[in-house]
Amino acid sequence: MKVLLVGTGAREHILAEQLSKSASLYSIMPKKHPGIASLSEEFLVHDPTDSSVVGQWAKSKGIDVVFVSPDGLLAQGVTDTFADLGIPCASPLKKAAMIEWDKGYARNLMRAKEISGCPIIKIVSTLDDAKEAISEIGEVAIKPIGLTGGKGVKISGEHLNSEQEILDYCSELIKKDGNVLIEERLDGEEFTLQAFCDGSTLALMPPVQDHKRAFEHDEGPNTGGMGSYSTGKLLPFLEQKDMDEAKEIMQKTLTEMKNEGNSFTGILYGQFMLTKNGIKVIEFNARFGDPEAMNVLALLKTQLSEVFLSMAEGKLIPVSFSNNCTVVKYLVPEGYPIEGKADQPISIDKEGLWNSGTKLYFGSVYEKGETIYTTPSRTAAIVAQAETLEDAEKAAEDAMSFVKGPLWHRKDIGTKDLIKRRMEHVRRLKA
């Protein structure tokens, strides 16, 4: 089988690794990614949105199935390029990817079809309406309608400390996008649930908890994700009924999209929050999370190429995972996330990593000669798995010594203290 992967980053690196185990991997990327390139039979370094070039290249290689990964490319309709040529695709068309790139569409779908888990929301296009909505709702989360890279959401009492700051941010987003999404601020524990979808049915992956705040103890600005952990079929603070409720929300969303003539084939990502009033939906994404993809794909037992082909054909096969625990920790450049230090060389002790049993996946880097350099974004992710979370966390932390350069990471992800705080938070909510 010939599989084409479009995209570049740590998430795409582990996708490439999994696909290359059982298929001939072909890749298209805007810049050369050293990890993905090394796993590919052939690769094309070119703008993926240049439909005439990338479409013809895929056609000439006899590709059997395509997977377009990053949110930005999905929003620009890159999947449509290949679908229009009759190549089976396991990623969503632009219209279906709207579940992510238009938050208003997602919220309106939930309200219109009475899908549970929707918080109180207002979509407004004027500052006067924003002021009225804030007065009605109280504590709020302010969200851009479009893509944010995980960094655009600001919450009253955390990022915005006065009504004027809230209104200033609303004004900024209205000027940029024409409108803004204002939601009630939720209190609870977040978790991610991802699913393979063939348009009608879904296969769930293990739940994961991501950490968006830059610094330890969940402080600092939001980032694309500093790391994540999973503990098999449940997270420590979840019960099976919580998973069942989240799955029901995802299945109904999938069904209603199909009923609207907007069938979703690809990875449906649900960002949920466990609150005192049950499960709430923070957002939907139309692709794997980054870093959450690394947690679940490290545990995947079914061949990913076979899963993708079955999705593209509308006949999703059963998918199985190991019940091991996983920990992902991102190494990021000095100054990240405000102004990451770019063009800094890094070195990796490949033998040390191999002997430790951990894996490294390159994020936003570039290669010049035989040296790998940083960009302002996340550099590389260390992934460890073990039977216990304690062992996985220790392995991931110990493996940091095998990467040298002006980099830093959150040391608390997956630790006992962090998990204890999560459990205590849920206990307080339920009390």
Tens of pLDDT, residue by residue over 116-138, are 999 999 999 999 999 999 999 99
Q: Which two tokens stand for residue 70?
A: 């990053």
Task: Look at residues 22, 40, 21, 23 and name the one whose alpha carbon lies nearest to residue 6.
Answer: 40
Structure confidence at residue 128 (pLDDT): 93
Of the pLDDT bands very low, low, confident and very high (cuts 50, 70, 90), residue 150 is low
State yes or no: pLDDT of 83 exceeds 90: yes
The Cα-based distances of 369 to 47, 82, 110, 208, 372 in angstroms read 22, 33, 50, 37, 8
State yes or no: pLDDT of 149 exceeds 80: no
Q: Taking residues 302-329, what's their average pLDDT?
A: 98
Of the pLDDT bands very low, low, confident and very high (cuts 50, 70, 90), residue 64 is very high
Q: pLDDT digit string (tens) for 233-274?
A: 999 999 999 999 999 999 999 999 999 999 999 999 999 999
Whether 101 and 147 have beta carbons less than 8 Å apart is answered as: yes
Residue 237, Ramachandran bin (φ over 0: left; ψ between -120 and 50: alpha; else beta): alpha
- Helical H segments across 102-191, by residue range: 103-112, 127-137, 163-177
The full set of domains in the chain, from first to last, is 2-91 (3.40.50.20), 120-184 (3.30.1490.20), 189-418 (3.30.470.20)
Percent of the chain with pLDDT over 90: 92
Neighbouring C-alpha atoms within 13 Å toward the C-beta of 188: 22
State yes or no: pLDDT of 101 exceeds 80: yes
Q: Is the peptide bond between 337 and the residue preceding it cis, with omega within 30 degrees of 0?
A: yes
State yes or no: pLDDT of 216 exceeds 80: yes
DSSP characters over 145-166: SS--TT---EEBTTTB-SHHHH
- Pairing state between β 121-124 and 189-198: unpaired
Structure confidence at residue 145 (pLDDT): 87
Give the length of the chain: 431
Whether 137 and 184 have beta carbons less than 8 Å apart is answered as: yes
Mean of pLDDT over the chain: 96
Q: pLDDT digit string (tens) for 291-314?
A: 999 999 999 999 999 999 999 999
Q: Tell me how far the alpha carbon of residue 389 is from its chain's centroid.
A: 21
Helix and strand numbers, DSSP H then E, in the chain = 15, 24
Residue 21: how many CB atoms within 10 A of its CB? 12
**Cβ neighbourhood burial of 431 (10 Å; 0-12, 13-18, 19+):** exposed
State yes or no: pLDDT of 146 exceeds 90: no
Q: Taking residues 162-186, what's their average pLDDT?
A: 92
Structure confidence at residue 95 (pLDDT): 98
Whether 81 and 4 have beta carbons less than 8 Å apart is answered as: no
Q: Taking residues 26-38, what's their average pLDDT?
A: 96
**Which residues share a beta bridge with 325?**
231, 386
List Cβ<8 Å contacts ≥24 apart for 131-138. Answer: 131/167, 133/182, 134/163, 134/166, 134/167, 134/182, 137/182, 137/183, 137/184, 138/184, 138/185
**Which residues share a beta bridge with 208?**
192
Distance CA(360)–CA(344), nearest Å, equals 18
Distance CA(166)–CA(163), nearest Å, equals 5
Residue 178, Ramachandran bin (φ over 0: left; ψ between -120 and 50: alpha; else beta): left
Structure confidence at residue 178 (pLDDT): 92
Q: Taking residues 194-199, what's their average pLDDT?
A: 98
